[in-house]
Amino acid sequence: MDDLKIGVYVCNCGTNIAHVIDAESVRAYAATLPGVKIARSYRYMCSNPGQEMIVEDIRSQGLNRVVVAACSPRMHEKTFRNACRSAGLNPYLCDMANIREQCSWVHSDSVAATEKAMALTRAAVLRVACQEPLAGLTAEMCPTTLVLGGGIAGLTAALELAEGGFPVVIVERADKLGGNLTRVDLTAPHFDSARDLVRERIAHVRSNPNITVMLHSELRRLSGFVGNFTGEITTNGGKPTHVKLGNVVVATGYKEFDAGRVTHFGYGKLPNVITSFDFERMLRAGRIETRDGRLPQYAAIIHCVGSRSEEFHGYCSRVCCMTALKYANELKSAIPTCYVSDLYIDMHAFGKGCEDFYKRSSEVKTMFLMYGKGDHPVIRRAGSGDDCDMLIEVEERLSGEHIEIPADLVILLVGMEARKDATDVARLVNISQDKSGWFIESHPKLDPVATTTDGVYIVGTCASPKDIPDTVAQARAAAARILAKIAKGKIEIDGVFAEVREEQCSGCRMCNELCPYSAIEFDADKRRSHVIPAACKACGACVAACPSAAIKGRHFTDTQIFAQIEGVLL
Amino acid sequence: MSYEPKLVGFLCNWCSYTGADLAGTSRIQYPPNIRIIRVMCSARIDPSFVLQSLGKGADGVLICGCHPGDCHYSEGNYKAMRRYPLLKRLLDAYGIEPERVRLAWVSASVGQRFADVVADMTERLRALGPCRVKTALQTDQIER
Amino acid sequence: MRVGVFLGNSLDGSGIDLDSVAKYAQNLPSVEYVRVLGTKPKLDPTTLAWEIRQQRLDRIVLAGDSPGRFKPAFSRALASAGSNPDEVQLASFREHGVGTGREALERAKAIVACGVHAVPFTLVAEPQSAAVNQATLVIGAGIAGIQAALEIADAGKKVYLVERSATIGGHMAMFDKTFPTLDCSACILTPKMVAVGDHDMIELLTLSEVTEISGAPGAFRAKVLKHARRVEIDNCIACNLCTEICPISTLSEFDSNLTHRKAIYIPFPQAVPNVYVVDPDTCTWTLTDGKKCGACLKKCPKDCIKLDEKDEVVELEVGNIVLATGYELFDAKKVEGYGYGKHHNVLTSLEFERMTNAAGPTGGKIVLKTPKLNKRTKVEEWVAQPNGPAPRSVAIIHCVGSRDAKYNPYCSRVCCMYSLKFAHLVREKLPEATCHEFYIDMRAFGKGYEEFMERIKAEGTRVVRGRTASVCEANGQMVVRGEDILQDKVVEFPVDMVILAVGVIPAPGTQELAAKLGLPRDPDGWFAELNYNGEPTQTQRGGIFVAGMCQGPKDIPDTVAQASAVAAGVLRSISSGHNAEDLSKLGLSEIEARANKLEATLSFAE
Amino acid sequence: MPTRVNPKLVTELERYGAEDVQKCYHCGNCSAVCVHSDALYSFPRKSMRLLQMGLERRILTSLDPWLCYYCGQCSTQCPRGAEPGATMMSLRRWLTGRYDFTGISRLFYRSWKAELLAIVLLGLATAAGFLAWGFAHGDFAAYDGPNAFLSSSDIHIFDWAMAAVLTALLLINTIRMWWFTLGSDKQLRVPLRTYLRKLLLLPTHFFSQRRYALCEKKRPWVIHLALMLSYMTMMVLVMGFVRLLQSGPEIEWAVHGFGYAASFGLLVGIAWFVRARIKQAEPHVQHSHESDWIFLVLLLLVTATGVTQHILHRAGEPLAANVTYVVHLSLVVPMLVLEVPFSKWSHMAYRPLAMYLSEVRREAIARREAAAPAKANLVPRAA
């Protein structure tokens, strides 16, 4: 190690440290430690004058290490690193001893506290001696974004990025854009036209030069890391094209629940039991009729088909309640004489304007019937004497009566479920799925659109059931993250990440599986593993687990920690 | 001077270290016997750190991490949870009382919990007396 | 192509004179037939079919406040008249923001013109762009404002973050746990607050309010009144000595008036800026213009208390404005039946939130309020003390002031979930206490919410369907009277503590701010978004965005998503150099011309 | 066996005055706030629910609508403006219609024009009949005495005859009411002893309207009670002492004193109700059905003509008195014949009976539960 010139600065923090710890004796003790060139004590190290003192000492005394014994590094580590950087010293050659939150504020016995402060300062001095200058890495940030899925979520995210001036590639499995929204006529709660919304988005996408649309296409492979992905895309199963990408937005949407799986509804056996998407087709065609062409005098709508149930899906599919109210109004508009009944468990009218929509729906005389979660309403063919095709038998909870409901047409509000191919997509872009198959976000509140893999975002219903406004908001949220990264031009990778010393690596590949961010790749020909700096989050799990201690945790190496252990126990 | 046990604490930056800081901001007092070393995640704590601490004269070692499910790196604490029983068996083999080493989940939002853990550990170590294997465990110094 | 235009209001009308729009539609190209249906018309598809067949119409344009409600009738009429049922175009005044006043009629006509040409209005009404100032003004520093500010600043763009109170963090800083993951609110919020605090691209203006806004989208000028903090932000190191010496104590707003704070105080330990503030309304020095007290001046080791500091006005030039003003709790006193304010142990949700917070007044212990003599005022106050008695039974009442025509007709969306969280906290901290919840619809709709609800029920919380009607006092306990609908009987429960899941209303000052910005608000008082489905975070006026609760009640995950979406809109306008101009600037004739041209290009079969 | 829901009942009930029942989203506030609602009879929500679902059988066998005195407290509490009070009122009208076996009551409630026409025709027929009878037996100029135009003895007989017919009709309807609510209930065997033990409740409710006094506002109870007692006094006078009523120009205070008090009570009561229904200040008078108006107006006219006829006779104008007397009779007969068994008047019989039957049923259920204890009662019963 070059000749050490360590500067130690003991902060009084006004009286917060000084009222328990004798700062002067800590300073005097620090001056005696090996390698310490200068030791000062000052009232407020974090204030501007305090930092000026450090910069001045580095320049005049040629200090090559700095230790600040003050508050918690979580408060001012960044401040003192910036001070060192502005003085020309590599910021990773600075270390802090926490003698306020973890010493003066929590111990009243000043002798013990001062002795502990000395120990913590000694540990920092020994640690900083082993610290090496680290340079952050920068990687190029390819501005192109891959959008998987051409539904409303994918279109919105693509438009947001393209109108910001950056190239986007949309890969859509089907042969046209629009996704599930093209199967819907009007939207709840204001009966706005879903068709106009999709047509406007598609028109904008088509007319935007920055967007390349690849229909009938699939992503075969994705390699590299954030800012430097390479995507292999095949169209019509043909020769794959390779595209350089910076980020990936997964907007693969949802599949509706197969109503046939619920035996007691008799979907598939009873002709006039249809799903919500069948009904949307009838609305578009202007023909709401039973299978044999008659206008239904009685219609029934059943909520939570496949949702909120132990047998199928435990979650609530969030959009069906408002869809049911929409259908009740649409039925009454198309067939004014039709009597509509609505079987629900809880009426989830939580959205903006939805409670008012629920209240207005009572003006169309819908008969709302509440059944218990877990109950099985049974649909059976009516007898010849009845004036309707089918009868729905259920235990109605608000009246406590066991009733049967006449129905010529029954609309099943099928819930949302993860697409069958979601598992392939998850493996491709290296994200994980929850027990129901929805993709998992890195944190529902901190980071609702990011995933554990940097540069891969999940938006819309592929993450969990949601309505159009929430889908559009999430699509734009992902775009915001990507715009922010592209605006910075390059990816700054913090200097702190793991590094494999190839000469010691035995190629056992234990670390490859271990890393939650799959940031360690195996180099087949060299038979060695190596860490991808950008993907590594520096948690150090691999460093501790490596059987041949071949992985070095930069800025948290074993040597540095051993030095600290020695420092605190001397 | 009566026997004062020396306790080394390895705290993960995102939850337990922040919890210890919160104990500070809320001025919750606890015994000064603990000396805290910060690591980024409880998964980083190599069993050799514990042995080295005991070898260098520590009477007890505290390993802290986030509550399962709260880990900033999503699964780091599960790794620490797996290594801990093996380490305890190793200590047993060395004839070191397993109670000298303890694993505790400390969340970033409750300072009191960290203080209680430290106080409890200090009392237990005071009862156990000094750790006799200070020299016996001198592990060879290999360049790491 | 023979087009028929039908004008009718399906709700209570949008204040537009349908006849003048009808007259305008009369002479649009290929419009052969116009009829005004009036308000809430009774439409019979068979007579409509006859009318369509008789007029030989191929395309129908439905115009009005919410014409979608008539569409099924016309689709069926078209089908039975042998025309193409897809040829129904909606011209919704409500969806495309037709307000009131002179240009409203212009906008209505423009919407009808687009309908006639079968071109989506949003495709045509593309306002021109204007140069964009790269700086952004974010009003309100709750989780929404913080998230938007961080995302914009992380892209290297300047942000002015204006917050009315002394610290950022908003209501989220008061919470202990958040649903459904029960992770601690501080673990999520404080890192973001610290990031805002020392972000070099964010200029934080606390204790500040926007007083005036002028200019056009892309080049707004905002006047901000910075109230005096009376403590120098750069020098104060939050050492708490001034608070110890200050003689004045008053109720702490941050702790929902459960405990006291001094005249010079810090709202909570992790406040950002981590600096103390003097409350001018209770500080003796400020009230007596410096004649009395000033004890803190002498005590401050850094001499950074300046009690004579004056308010100042700051001028800001910004390109975009983000509204994140959040919400306020509905005043529970208005519902006399529950006796909030009369019975001491009827708490609002925020009071209970503070009580369960580990850093709160009782250190997280759930206790009954007990009388305590206030030494200074000699008045007996009911205060929550750490050593107070724990309640043996708790009742949580949903929909207080929400879903109620007499107060707020809308659903406040978050109360069901936080009530479940409260029930969990009660069961966890007081295992032997019983907990009842009175609800109408248990709305657990989000990701992981349903499982959370099932877990809470499994823990033993008695969930009763039926909203409580009254809470009255009887021998020291409170009797909650309601109807248990599933058991079909009226019941009365004696409980020790009642928690009111109080609904939310727009933050104070929303009305004035909306007036200053010229922004419409929806009937419930929240800011109105540009388009319910397509543009949930933009507003009528270009360059002004809304995020979080101020646009309508929503929980933290949805708020964070909207805040990021707003950041996208801002970054897009900055990086593309143009900003959505004011929609109303577009002339009617220009829209007609564009619609006509676009009709040809748009392939209809899509 | 599941019961069939009938979506048509709601539209049917609109003609009986229940417009907003569909707005109810079942929060239970109205039942909780109602003083009379308790663990066994919780209303009005349950009744509205049965109406929403069109369970006619359940409504027909339910006593709940009659236990409500329409104080309007529930309607003010309702967060959705579903008017529970007005709905209960409309259910009472519907039940009155269903109890009446002739179907006339349903006709009158569904079309007020039919009721008005019936009143006019019956009024004219009565006038013609009495005129014919009067000219045949007495002198038009003589009001009282031997050859009075309408001698009190004839009127007396006529009154009793009519009373007999009406009582018979009303009795049949009340028996039907009993049969629907208690009689036909097979799961609940009610021994005669329970009926007898509770019998005293019938007169107490009839005369004291004790439950109405429990409502928050006391004034409506007082006025309603005064009106009803005045009406009963007048009826007793007419049925028993018509001869004394009609006799001599001088005032027979023993009888006329009561008459004047009753008339005064009637006039003030009716005036208060009419003013309330016009001002519509309080919730329970904001939804007036035509049948309410017809009943009030008829009562007013009958009292007015009765009083005028008496004054004219006292003032020595027998001829004018006789004319008013005929008009009075041509109003009284339709009121009694049409209102008593078929319209609003019948609530004077149905409501006390319902209160009596509800207590009988409560005891029968209590006895049945005591004999075979029901499943553990989770929820503590009302204090």
| A402 in the same domain as A459 | no
A326: CATH: 3.50.50.60
Q: Do domains C136-226+311-326+507-583 and C329-505 have the same CATH topology?
A: yes
pLDDT of residue D37: 86
Neighboring chain B residues of C364 at a CB cutoff of 8 Å = 110
pLDDT per residue over D259-316, tens digit each? 888 999 999 999 999 999 999 888 888 888 888 899 889 999 999 998 888 888 888 8
> CA separation (Å) from B86 to B47, B96, C371?
9, 14, 54
Residue A369 has pLDDT above 50, yes or no: yes
Contact A318, C557 (CB under 8 A): no
Q: Cα angle at C150 between C148 and C152, to 5 degrees?
A: 70
Question: How many CB atoms sit inside 10 A of residue C369's CB?
Answer: 21
In this structure, the number of other CB atoms found within 10 A of the CB of residue D217 comes to 12
Report CB contact under 8 Å: B13, A556.
no
Chains A and D lie in contact, requiring 3 or more CB pairs less than 8 Å apart: yes
Report the run of H or E that residue C480 belongs to, with start and end: strand C477-484
What residues have CB less than 8 Å from A542, skipping those under 6 apart? A498, A511, A514, A515, A520, A531, A551
Residue A222, classed as helix, strand or coil, is strand
Q: Give A423-444 pLDDT, tens digit per residue.
A: 999 888 878 788 789 998 877 7
The answer to whether C472 faces chain D, any CB pair under 8 Å, is no
Look at B23 and A100 and tell me if their CB atoms are within 8 Å. no
> Nearest Cα to A187, choosing from A329, A312, A393?
A329
A420: tokens are 């069958």
C361 in Cβ contact with C259 (< 8 Å): yes
Taking CB atoms and an 8 Å limit, are C181 and A483 in contact across chains? no
Using DSSP's 3-state secondary structure scheme, residue A323 falls into helix
DSSP strands (E only) in C65-188: 88-92, 129-130, 136-139, 159-162, 177-178, 183-184
User: Does A305 share its domain with A439?
Assistant: no
Chain C closest-CA separation from residue B87 CA (Å): 30
Report d(CA A462, CA C71) in Å as an integer: 31
D297-304: long-range contacts (C-beta < 8 A, 24 or more apart)? D298/D119, D298/D331, D298/D334, D298/D335, D298/D339, D299/D231, D299/D266, D299/D270, D299/D335, D300/D267, D300/D270, D300/D274, D301/D331, D302/D328, D302/D331, D302/D332, D302/D335, D303/D234, D303/D263, D303/D266, D303/D267, D303/D270, D304/D267
Contact: B112, C358; criterion CB under 8 Å: yes
Which of chain A's residues have a Cβ under 8 Å away from the Cβ of D26? 370, 398
Looking at the fold, whether A117 and A216 belong to one and the same domain comes out as: no
**Is the Cβ–Cβ distance between C227 and C208 less than 8 Å?**
yes
- Cα distance between residue C328 and residue C418, in whole Å: 16
Mutation target among C177, C572, C574, C601 for the A interface, most CBs of A within 10 A: C572
Whether residues A105 and A16 fall in one domain: yes
Q: Of A153, A150, A252, whose CA–CA distance to A211 is shortest?
A: A150
Angle CA D210–D214–D220, to nearest 5: 80
- Token reading at A397: 């909870």
User: Looking at the DSSP assignment, which residues form a beta bridge with residue A249?
Assistant: A147, A457
From the list A123, A516, A553, the residue facing B73 with the nearest CB is A516
The shortest CB-CB distance from D32 to any of C399, C469, C474 is to: C469
For residue A193, the tally of other CB atoms under 10 A from its CB is 26
One-letter identity of residue A418? A
Q: Is C184 on the interface with B (CB under 8 A)?
A: yes
CA distances from D86 to D21, D70, D89, D93 (A): 9, 8, 5, 11
Which residue, among D20, D24, D26, D27, would best test binding to C if mutated, counting the most C CBs under 10 Å from its CB?
A: D27
CA-to-CA separations, D339 to C61, D291, D345, D351, in angstroms, rounded: 55, 9, 5, 15
| Residue A299 and residue A408 in one domain | yes
Put simply, the answer to whether A106 touches B27 (Cβ < 8 Å) is yes
* Inter-chain residue contact C409 with A187, CB threshold 8 Å: no
Q: How far is B15 from chain C (nearest CA, A)?
A: 8
∠ CA(C185), CA(C187), CA(C190), 5° rounding? 90
Contacts A569 to B, Cβ<8 Å: 6, 8, 35, 53, 56-58
pLDDT tens-digit profile of A493-533?
Answer: 778 889 999 899 999 988 988 888 888 989 888 889 999 88
Residue A238 in any domain: the answer is: yes
- Counting CB pairs under 8 A, whether chains C and D reach 3 or more, is yes
Out of A134, A155, A182, pick the residue that ends a domain.
Answer: A134
For the domain made up of C136-226+311-326+507-583, the CATH class stated in words is alpha beta
* B 23-82: CB under 8 A from A: 23-25, 27-32, 35-41, 43-46, 48-49, 52-53, 56-58, 72-76, 79
- A337 assigned to some structural domain: yes
Q: What is the pLDDT of residues D182-200, one digit of tens each?
A: 888 888 888 888 889 888 8
Residue of chain D nearest C484, judged by CA positions: D28
* pLDDT for C603: 55
Chains with ≥3 CB–CB distances under 8 Å to A: B, C, D
- A564 domain residue, yes or no: no
**CB interface of C with D, residues 321-340, below 8 Å:** 337
Are A82 and A156 found together in one domain?
no
Bridge partners for A521 per DSSP: A530
Contacts of D30 in chain C (CB under 8 A): 469
Has residue A524 been placed in a domain? yes
The distance of Cα C18 from the centroid of its chain, to the nearest Å, equals 33
Dist CA D224 CA C491 (whole Å) = 31
Query: Does the beta-carbon distance from B39 to A112 stay under 8 Å?
Result: no
In this structure, is residue A345 part of a structural domain?
yes
Q: What is the pLDDT of residue D13?
A: 92
The answer on pLDDT for D145 being more than 80 is no
**CA of C299, closest CA in chain B: separation in Å?**
20
Q: What pLDDT was estimated at residue C362?
A: 86
Residue D160, pLDDT > 60, answer yes
DSSP codes of every residue in A18-39: TTTS-HHHHHHHHHTSTTEEEE
Q: How confident is the model at residue A99 (pLDDT cuts 50, 70, 90)?
A: very high
Residue B142 has pLDDT above 50, yes or no: no
Answer whether D379 sits within 8 Å of C489, measured CB to CB: yes
pLDDT given for residue C584 in this prediction: 64
Q: Where are the alpha helices (DSSP H) in C234-386?
A: 241-245, 284-287, 295-299, 349-356
Token pair recorded at residue C342: 């009369």
Q: What's the token pair of residue C389?
A: 């008695």
Quote the domain boundaries for residue A459. 145-254+418-490
Q: Give me the residues of chain C with pLDDT under 70, please.
A: 13-14, 101-102, 127-129, 184, 187, 579-585, 603-606
Residue whose entry in the numeric block shows the structure tokens 């020098």: C235
Residue D378 in tokens: 């989770």
Do A464 and A411 reside in the same domain of the chain?
no
pLDDT at C187: 65
Q: In chain A, what residues touch D57 (CB-CB under 8 Å)? A: none
Q: Are residues A354 and A471 in the same domain?
A: no
Same domain, A385 and A406: yes
Q: What are the tens digits of pLDDT across the range B52-82?
A: 999 888 999 999 998 887 777 878 999 999 9
Domain boundaries, chain C: 3-125+586-601, 136-226+311-326+507-583, 241-299, 329-505
D47, closest residue in chain C (CA to CA): C488
Residue C526 Cα, gap to closest chain B Cα (Å)? 33
Answer for the pair D290, D343: CB distance below 8 angstroms, yes or no.
no
Q: Suggest the residue from C178, C184, C356 to mutate for an interface test with chain B (most B CBs closer than 10 A).
A: C184
Nearest CA in chain A to C44: A336
Among C463, C470, C479, C483, the residue to mutate for chain D (most D Cβ within 10 A): C483
Looking only at the bridges linking them, the beta strands covering C159-162 and A217-225 are unpaired
pLDDT reading at D376 higher than 80: no
pLDDT of residue D379: 45
Output the average pLDDT for chain A: 91
Whether residues C43 and A333 touch (CB distance < 8 A) is answered with: yes
Task: Show the beta-strand stretches assigned E in chain D.
Answer: 3-4
- Of C361, C384, C360, nearest in space to C371 by CA: C384
In this complex, do B41 and A540 lie within 8 Å of one another by their Cβ atoms?
yes
- B98 alpha-carbon distance from chain centroid: 12
Whether the model pTM is above 0.95: no
Residues of B in contact with C184 (CB under 8 A): 107-110
The pair of three-digit structure tokens given for residue C105, joined into one six-digit string: 């009629």
Domain assignment of residue A155, yes or no = yes
Q: Supply the pLDDT for residue A102.
A: 93
Number of C-beta neighbours around residue D119 at 10 A: 22
Q: Which CATH class is domain C329-505?
A: alpha beta
- A139 in a structural domain: no
**Number of CB pairs < 8 Å for A and B?**
125
In a domain, A563, yes or no: no
What is d(CA A154, CA A128) in angstroms, rounded to the nearest whole number? 49
Whether C359 has its CB under 8 Å from any CB of chain B: the answer is yes
A318 and A240 part of one domain? no
Q: Which two tokens stand for residue D50?
A: 């049965």
Is the per-residue pLDDT at B138 higher than 80? no
The topology under which CATH files domain C3-125+586-601 is Rossmann fold (3.40.50)
The total of structural domains in chain A comes to 4
Nearest beta carbon to residue D23 from set A362, A398, A402 = A362
Q: What is the model's pLDDT at position A171?
A: 96
Q: Which long-range contacts (CB under 8 A, 24 or more apart) does C333-338 make?
A: C334/C401, C334/C407, C335/C400, C335/C401, C335/C407, C335/C500, C337/C469, C337/C470, C337/C471, C337/D33, C337/D77, C338/C397, C338/C400, C338/C468, C338/C470, C338/C471, C338/C498, C338/C500
Pinpoint the alpha helices (H) of C250-361: 284-287, 295-299, 349-356
The CATH number covering residue A48 comes to 3.40.50
Chain C residues with CB under 8 Å of D79 CB are: 399, 403-406
A221 and A303 in one domain? Answer: no
Decide if C270 touches B, using CB distance below 8 A.
Answer: yes
Query: What integer pLDDT is reported at residue B141 of this predicted model?
Result: 44
**Residue of chain C whose alpha carbon sits nearest to that of D377:** C487
What is the C-alpha to C-alpha distance for residues C144 and C562, in angstroms, rounded to an integer?
A: 8
Q: What is the mean pLDDT of residues D15-44?
A: 89
Q: Both A514 and A526 in a single domain?
A: yes
- Of A275-279, A340-344, C515-519, D183-187, give the lowest mean pLDDT range: D183-187
